[in-house]
Amino acid sequence: MIGAACAYYAARSGLSVTVIDRGPVAGGTTGAGEGNLLVSDKEPGPELDLALLSTRLWRELSERLPAGIEFEAKGGLVVASGDPGMNALRDFAAAQTKAGVQADEVPAPLLRDLEPHLSPALTGGFHYPQDAQVQPALAAAHLLRASGARIRTGEEVTAVLTGAGGEVRGVRTPAGDLHAPYVVNAAGTWGGELARLAGAFLPVMPRRGFVLVTEPLPRVVRHKVYAADYVADVASGSAALQTSAVVEGTPAGPVLIGASRERVGFDRTLSVEVLRRLADGATALFPMLAKVRAIRTYTGFRPYLPDHLPAIGADPGVPGLLHACGHEGAGIGLAPATGLLVARLLTGDEPPLDVRPFLPGRFAPAA
Amino acid sequence: MPSSASEPYDLTVIGAGAAGLAGAGAAARLGLSVALLDASGQPGGQYFRHPAPALGARRPQALHHDWSAFTHLRRGLASGGIDHRTFHHVWTVTRDSDGLWSAHALTGADGDGDRPARVRARAILLATGAYERQLPFPGWTLPGVVGAGGAQAMLKSGLVLPGKRIVVAGSGPLLLAVASSLAGAGADVPVVVEASGYLGYARHPRALATNPHKLLEAAVHGSALLRHRVSLRTRSAVTEAHGTDRVEAVTVSRIDRHWRPVPGTDRRIACDALAVGHGLIPQTELVTGLGCATRRTPDGTQALSLDDFQETSVAGLWAAGETGGTGGWQLARTEGELAGIAVAARLRGEPTLTGSARVRKLRRRRDRMRAFADAMAAAHSPGPGWSDWLTDDTDVCRCEEVTAGRIHEAVTCFGAHDARTVKLLTRAGMGWCQGRMCATAVACLAASGTAEGTVPPSAERRPLAVPVPLGVLGALEEPPSTAESAD
């Protein structure tokens, strides 16, 4: 997704672009996500600024791209069960509001107006009308196609070519050398490996997540609904398993249930314990889901950087190499702003926001 | 038998067909405690499927030539050491932190029982058989179009026929058996339409000569077909089914050796049912997620790679029968017994058990039948030209109503050259059956843009082998250090 967005905005800026992927389109984390476009889970700071810009860009894109991307401005609903949780949510929303987020408190009696099947035991929540969703694989495929870039899928980059001064000159694949003065590393969770090929350093690590998919249902869940502890889990850096209930319907019918986070490398083995916790969390929010059957589950690896901010911008050591990866679980949402930022950096135009917090140079190479 | 619920079994056998019964029996005779799990209420699997006692069938063996073999296998259940758990729908198998295996199952006739089960054991024998391979054609979603194996299963378990005048079509040795059962039960079977020629068998004279029982089987079916005046049309395929509320006729076309329909050879045949199937697909999803290696069979399916004693590439996981490649019930029984002995040899620390004369005989028999099965698979392998009989509006994925045209668009416009990407971009295979019906077709269509171009392997990765209610999932016990079975 990030690569597609970089290609789209770079090509629109008049650059000649080739996209290379060792797999198919959306074959990595993009195809394993839910397609969240969220501002609600972000505290004020650089990532929220990036998300707010992306929210505007996604709305533009949704008008330019075919309806097939399944863009839905459905809004988010964050719920709390208990007064301490509700108070924390209130403080969080107040700070977000100052940063430009729209957040409306929903008292308990009105929760069921927004989501009729929510558990009556909840204390209250906040409605975030800016939250939205796309079908990520379709969004990436359509964006890539709309970019007009040359696309070379199923081709793995085996080397990054450099010139006498250490500057990048292109990449090598089994099909031959491709020369270009700029190389953008949008390899997501595998961005650390690509950086290493170029002689650079980027500590991207996989953070595994499972999604449970139910049988197709009529629209019983209207918003993206999640429990307040999700925000704390997203911000945590712990390697241990964390789960929080995130529930949403899709235009195709199935309800998607997340979210788990654990750092276990690239292990795809099914974890019954993760599924148990996801199902438990979802049925606590929506008791009617207890009778509904999960028909499949999938897993993906979020590209995790230690400070939870993506790496966007020039590599400090290798001229011509730019990074655009490490967006963790927010890559679909943050893609357009990242792509625009990269395009502006490539053309030397004024970036749409301050790029400094994202610069890859913030990670000192390991000793 | 474990002395308490928390004590694990030595072996969990999944599937109570020929392979599972033979495996459980062999292991139990060698002193192992065995849990035999099966989704059905009675043993037998697909081949020895028979009416439930409640139906009051007086001669359940009427449809089986090999009933005595089954009663022999079934007798093993009564001789102790085997805990036969019926109505157990295993949805996943996991390896626990203590190295034991857990089979997680829904219970109840339809998986709607109150309490799920978690059955722990030191080893697993996967004997889950196979399911039927389907290739779509215009009209295949009409009522009255049923799977060939499905038609036989209906007959065996419920003594019902899918229609009065039934065309049997597709490819594979099952077709003759199905036609002969249907005709024997009183249906009018005007024709068996087989896509391959049987000449393919002649390329493997050795495999034929060393498997005389297979010739005998063919002769039995052949004479039954003659008796019922069923004609056999080879190198032909049903390329369209016609009808509005129900199938009323089919178009049968000659096809070339790549399975491309030959223009001008269409012939319309009236019928009120069509039983169609293109061979069997090994049902391996419970273990592929655990990393078991697979091999591509000569007819383009993925089967488990097994060693000489039926063990998968993951130590502690054995498999027998169709999961290692389609081969019929006799091969399944042989492999099951071999696996049961091999598990006992490993768990009891007595490797000499696998050196007995019996084991040598089983291995020889297994190798001989496998060779025949592979020769047969090669003869019935679908040719790439089958997709020529699709129209753009033919549904390929029935669950999600994804047409051939949309898949074609994903391949040509978005560069989707593998089944997973087609699925992500079109939803083909994401529905209720999880691609069991359409995965072969989708994979073929995705590969049509690639150099390979033939039937590519379909990856059997379904983390949930059966749908699981969220309430059941959420109420599972937390992972215990002293895990115990839930019932």
pLDDT band at B454, cuts 50/70/90?
very low
Cα gap B302→B299, rounded to integer Å: 9
Q: Which residues of B83-120 are buried (b: 16+ CB within 10 A; e: fewer)?
A: bbbebbbbbbbbbbeeebbbbbbbbeeebebeebbbbb
Whether residue B481 is predicted with pLDDT greater than 60 in this model: the reply is no
Distance from CA of A19 to the nearest CA of B (A): 13
B6 or B471, which is more confident? B471
B-chain residues within 8 Å CB-CB of A292? 469-470
**Region B41-56 average pLDDT:** 81
Closest Cβ–Cβ partner in A138, A213, A291 for B469: A291
B385-447 is classed CATH 3.90.1660.10: no
CA distance B182 to B149: 11
B385-447 has the same fold as B134-278: no
Q: Which residues contact B5 (CB under 8 A, 6 or more apart)?
A: B484, B485, B487
Looking at the partner chain, which of A138, A216, A292 has a beta carbon nearest the beta carbon of B469?
A: A292
B414, B423, B466: best mutation site toward chain A, by most A Cβ within 10 Å? B414
- Are the Cβ atoms of A27 and B421 closer than 8 angstroms? yes
At residue B46, the pLDDT reads 84
Query: Domain coordinates of chain B in residue numbers?
Result: 9-131+281-376, 134-278, 385-447
Q: Is a pLDDT exceeding 60 seen at residue B4?
A: no
pLDDT band at B147 (very low <50, low <70, confident <90, very high): very high
Q: Does B424 touch chain A (CB under 8 A)?
A: yes
pLDDT at B5: 54
Residue B202 has pLDDT above 70, yes or no: no
Report CB contact under 8 Å: A296, B430.
Answer: yes
CATH 3.40.50.620 applies to domain A2-68+135-204+307-362: no
CA distance B104 to chain A (A): 9
DSSP element (H, E) containing B268:
strand B267-270
For residue A4, the chain B residues in CB contact (below 8 A) are none
Cβ–Cβ gap B464/A289 under 8 Å: no
Q: Which of B322, B336, B304 is nearest to B132 (CA)?
A: B322
Q: With an 8 Å Cβ cutoff, is B108 touching chain A? A: no
pLDDT digits (tens, 9 = 90+) for B312-342: 999 999 999 999 999 999 999 999 999 999 9
Query: Where, residue-wise, is CATH 3.30.9.10 in chain A?
Result: 76-129+206-303
Closest-CA residue to B188 (of B155, B152, B162): B162
Gyration radius from chain B CA atoms: 22
Quote the crossing angle between the two packed helices B404-414 and A136-147, to the nearest 10°. 50
Evaluate the omega torsion of the peptide bond into residue A259 and state whether it is cis, within 30 degrees of 0: yes
Contacts of residue B107, Cβ cutoff 8 Å, sequence gap at least 6: B87, B88, B89, B113, B114, B115, B116, B117, B487
The answer on pLDDT for B200 being more than 70 is: no
- Adjacent-strand bridge partners of A211: A298
The answer on pLDDT for B486 being more than 90 is no
B142-154 mean pLDDT: 93
Across B77-90, average pLDDT: 92
Task: In whole angstroms, give the CA distance from residue B349 to residue B308.
Answer: 18
Question: Do the Cβ atoms of A28 and A189 come closer than 8 Å?
Answer: yes
pLDDT of residue B419: 85
Q: Between chains, do B470 and A290 touch, taking CB under 8 Å as contact?
A: yes
Q: Find chain A residues with C-beta within 8 A of B476's C-beta.
A: 272, 276
Q: Which residues of B touch A294 (CB under 8 A)?
A: 464, 467-470, 473
CATH class (in words) of the domain with range B134-278? alpha beta
Fold held by A76-129+206-303: D-Amino Acid Oxidase; Chain A, domain 2 (3.30.9)
pLDDT (tens, 9 = 90+) of chain A, 367 residues, equals: 999 999 999 999 999 999 999 999 999 999 998 899 999 999 999 999 999 999 999 999 999 999 889 999 999 999 998 888 899 999 999 999 999 999 999 999 999 999 999 999 999 999 999 999 999 999 999 999 999 999 999 899 999 999 999 999 999 999 999 999 999 999 999 999 999 999 999 999 999 999 999 999 998 999 999 998 777 776 677 778 888 889 999 888 999 999 899 999 998 888 999 999 999 999 999 999 999 999 999 999 999 999 999 999 999 999 999 999 999 999 999 999 999 999 999 999 999 999 999 999 998 765 4
Tokens at residue A357, please?
Answer: 């917090």
pTM (2 d.p.): 0.90
CB contact under 8 A, A273 and B414: no
Q: How near does any CA of chain B get to the CA of A98, in Å? A: 38
Does residue B99 surpass a pLDDT of 90? yes
List the structure tokens of A218. 């009529």
3-class SS of residue B304: strand
Q: Which residues does chain A have within 8 Å of residue B417's beta carbon, measured at their own beta carbons?
A: 24, 153-154
**By three-state DSSP, how is residue B286 classified?**
helix
- The C-alpha atoms of residue B53 and residue B45 are separated, in whole angstroms, by 16
pLDDT exceeds cutoff 80 at B149: yes
Q: How far is CA B299 from the centre of its chain?
A: 14
In this prediction, residues B410-428 reach a mean pLDDT of 88
What's B9-131+281-376's CATH class? alpha beta
Of the pLDDT bands very low, low, confident and very high (cuts 50, 70, 90), residue B485 is: very low
Is A296 close to B476, i.e. CB distance below 8 A?
Answer: no
